[in-house]
Chains A and B, each alone.
Chain A
Amino acid sequence: MFSDLIAKLKLQAIFWLARRLPVCREVTPWMSERLDQPLPLGREIKLRLHFLVCDFCRYYQNQLLALRNAVQTMSNSTQEPDPTDQPRLSADARERMKNALKDQDR
């Protein structure tokens, strides 16, 4: 009984706060900008309060960070390709490059 009441009050408090904060659509650009430079203090505070009441935006912010790491992992891999179906230089292009190198090396 008592814990039900607490849960209800907590939900009301979340709604109360959420109604006074910027909507998700407004804060998604802030979450992106935040990866590159600090936000103005007012926005930073509003965003953190928004995180308190919104799981979606917390996921979103974590996902942007994860995406940054994923892209860096992918784009910096200069390892030999495992499977043979990776994009490769065509035989033509290979030949052209070798000839260009030979020409210039003379």
Chain B
Amino acid sequence: MDQAETGSGDRLTGPETWVDQHGDCLFRYALVRLRDETIAEEIVQETFLAALKSYSAFDGKSSERTWLTGILKHKIIDYFRRRSRQVTFDSLDGLPAESSDLFQQSGEWVDHFDFDRGPIDWGANPARIFENNQFQESLQRCIMHLPDRLSAVFTLREMEELSSDDVCKVLSISTTNLWVMLHRARAQLRKCIEYNWFRKMPG
């Protein structure tokens, strides 16, 4: 931690100490967004190298960790932009629709939520649960199960908190498809979390 406190200008130790100090943290940040260890490692390495190049611009006002995370954020968005030039994100082909087993299949109330399988009450204050490590692991597992295109859209909108317009630009997708993809990603995650967490909680 000492190096982080020394501020701008004179470095006491080489930048390779960043790897031990911040590597795991940046790696986890990248992994939950990119969902692939090799790609996450590459992007973290790119981040360190970019940081080294622009070290003179680091003013020491924020912590080294925050500064590096900021660079990583840009690298992740760049990665998605590059990726959208290789594969098309602007298609709904093969993407699962909201699962129909949550809805009544027949009868007067067809296509309304099924009484047994529809959404349940998550309680008055789920925010307390979000800090829980096990909950976060469940959530990460659910995100890992999203199809690639849905995950990309969801990650940029909800984790990187880009505006809807910017998500469309980065991934070269139409707004119509953006709404459909966000809906499907959220629907799948909602169901996954409800079934793997809230319906399993005792009481």
Residues of A within 8 A of B (CB): 18, 23-26, 28-29, 32-33, 35-37, 54-57, 59-60, 62-64, 66-83, 86-90, 93-94, 96-98, 100-102, 104-105
Contacts and interface: CB of A to CB of B under 8 A. Distances in A.
Among A59, A80, A89, A105, which residue has the most Cβ atoms of chain B within 10 A?
Answer: A89
Q: Which 7 A-B pairs have the closest CB atoms?
A: A56-B113, A32-B183, A23-B111, A98-B16, A59-B119, A75-B159, A25-B111
Given A28-B98, A73-B136, 13 more contacts: A23-B112, A24-B103, A32-B179, A32-B186, A57-B113, A69-B126, A70-B193, A83-B133, A86-B28, A88-B27, A89-B23, A90-B41, A97-B16
Given A60-B119, A86-B24, A71 B159 contact: yes
Contacts of B37: 87
A97 B23 contact: yes
The size class of the interface chain B forms with chain A is 35 or more
A101 B183 contact: no
Nearest to A29: B183
Contacts, number: 167
Contact of B112 (A24, A32, A69): A24
